[in-house]
Amino acid sequence: MGKKARIKKLKRKLAKLKARLKAAETHRHSVSPLAPKDGFPHLPVIGGVRFSAVQAGVRYPGRVDVMLAELDPGTAVAGVFTRSATRSAPVLDCQAKLGSDPAAGAAFIVNSGNSNAFTGASGERAVAAITEAVAKISGVPENRVYSASTGVIGEPLPYERITAKIEELHGTMAPDAIELAARAILTTDTYAKGAGAEIKVGDNTVRIAGIAKGSGMIAPDMATMLVYIFTDAKVEQALLQRILAQLVDETFNNITVDSDTSTSDSLLLAATGASGVEITENSTAFRDALKGVMLDLAHQVVRDGEGATKFVEIHVTGALSDKDARTHAMAIANSPLVKTAVAGEDPNWGRVVMAIGKSGAAADRDRLSIHFGDILVASQGWVSPAYREDEGAAYMKNDDLLIAVDLGLGAGAATVWTCDLTHGYIQINADYRS
């Protein structure tokens, strides 16, 4: 064979291999195909909050990795955290500080690259050093400085790299720098996540803006991530905490990527009161707007699920109770076999039946019905007579999917959101530390 022919042959081989490789690999650094098409949203500026972010080189150089938010005196702070029995030093510190006096203002300081989790006594020392440094420069008392860390577990946090930057952080704050703050808290995320809302209350406007990070170890309680939400509403601190706890149950606690729960989950909600609009127990417009922001952020976290190529809503009805419905929905959402079927665009409703069967909640095989989108796939213990496999297969090609199950037993209902399980997830997590 001549050299020309050999080159041609090798090039053909190369092209084939490249195509196969592309199918087998998903690049962690490319943006999730499910990311919002318009990029980071334009968020309302919240009176009483200022943001900044810097490159501190906590783990990786060349990226912003520490953010600071300072909040005016009078800002109420509510929080919800992971229930992990091995939660991190910053989480324990934040929990101890909840309920402290709002009059003194507050500050949030967050780093990525290192989670300061399972770091023993050194972890507590790191938290103390960071929150002390923020308190000293900002004038906010230390018991109002909330810190968080996200990244690798079990390695000592090089906190001097952070404390060395506090002055720069404090000196460069701006009310409209929330997007930069959103970028500083990312780890394996492929895009920065933000959501906002504005509501009219009489002649006034109440504004809400939130940011989130999270793409793996996403499961209740609560979804594994960091979330910071800010509003200029005026809300009494205990009420703010009640509202938050209730809405977390309706939003972040209903998403799952891989059933794993982080040791660092933290959600903080700050209400500065700058709008002058007072929120009471019955302010449903505020609750609805806040829930909208939380749900938007929760969905964005699922859409950035490690390796995700499909966003899946699991809607279960007809269960004996809401709790049973949620158990079934989570069993479907967390089943590796369901998740890989979705990845393969395979309308494999048999695996949905399997997941319902194993969930432990009540089910009757012969009363089940399953829809994929609007398509009735199975009912009365068997595939629906009208169902055509090619219809199901065509539906599964969509980016956003609905799997709806009716158990035919009662009035219990639940909705959860998840993503598929792909080669990308394996790739990201089989070499995260190396």
| Subset of 201-220 contacting a copy of itself (CB under 8 A) | 216-217, 219
Binding flag, residue 37, a copy of itself (CB under 8 A): no
Smallest distance from the beta carbon of 88 to a copy of itself, in angstroms?
A: 9
Neighbours of 168 (CB within 10 A): 14
Q: Residue 331 has which token pair?
A: 């069993």
Contact range with a copy of itself by CB under 8 A, out of 33-41, 70-78, 98-106, 360-368: 360-368
Q: Provide CB contacts within 8 A for 276, sequence distance 6+.
A: 204, 234
Calculate the CA dihedral of residues 178, 252, 115, 257 and round it to 10 degrees: -120
Catalytic: which of 26, 82, 131, 224?
224
Stretch that binds a copy of itself, among 5-13, 57-65, 168-176, 283-291 (CB under 8 A): 5-13
Of 167, 336, 394, 411, the residue at the interface with a copy of itself (CB under 8 A) is 336
Among 98, 152, 164, 173, binds a copy of itself (CB under 8 A): 152
Pick from 42, 323, 358, 388: which binds a copy of itself (CB under 8 A)?
358
- Total chain residues near a copy of itself (CB under 8 A): 82
Q: Is 224 a catalytic residue?
A: yes
Helical packing angle, 120-138 and 89-97, nearest 10°: 50
Q: How far is residue 135's CA from residue 116's CA, in Å, rounded to a whole number?
A: 20
Q: Which of 280, 282, 284, 434 binds a copy of itself (CB under 8 A)?
A: 434
Among 350, 373, 408, 410, the residue binding a copy of itself under the rule CB under 8 A is 350
Subset of residues 375 to 414 that bind a copy of itself, contact rule: CB under 8 A: 378, 380-383
Interface with a copy of itself in residues 271-330 (CB under 8 A): none
Q: Supply the DSSP symbol for 44.
A: P
Distance (Å, whole) CA 47 – CA 411 = 44
Query: What residues numbered 108-137 form the site for a copy of itself, per CB under 8 A?
Result: 117-123
Pick from 72, 142, 155, 322 the residue near a copy of itself by CB under 8 A. 155
Q: Residue 382's beta-bridge partner residues?
A: 379
Task: Scan residues 72-101 and list those touching a copy of itself (CB under 8 A).
Answer: 82, 84-87
Q: How many CB atoms lie within 10 A of CB 155?
A: 16
Q: Which of residues 217-276 bind a copy of itself (CB under 8 A)?
A: 217, 219, 258-263
Report whether 141 contacts 135 (CB < 8 A): yes
The correct pick among 164, 320, 337, 402 for binding a copy of itself (CB under 8 A) is 337
d(CA 266, CA 109): 12
Q: Is 315 exposed, middle or buried (0-12, 13-18, 19+ CB in 10 A)?
A: middle
Q: How far is the CB of 66 from a copy of itself (least distance, A)?
A: 21
CA 287 to chain CA centroid, nearest Å: 20
Beta bridge partners of 226: 213, 266
**Residues with catalytic roles:** 224
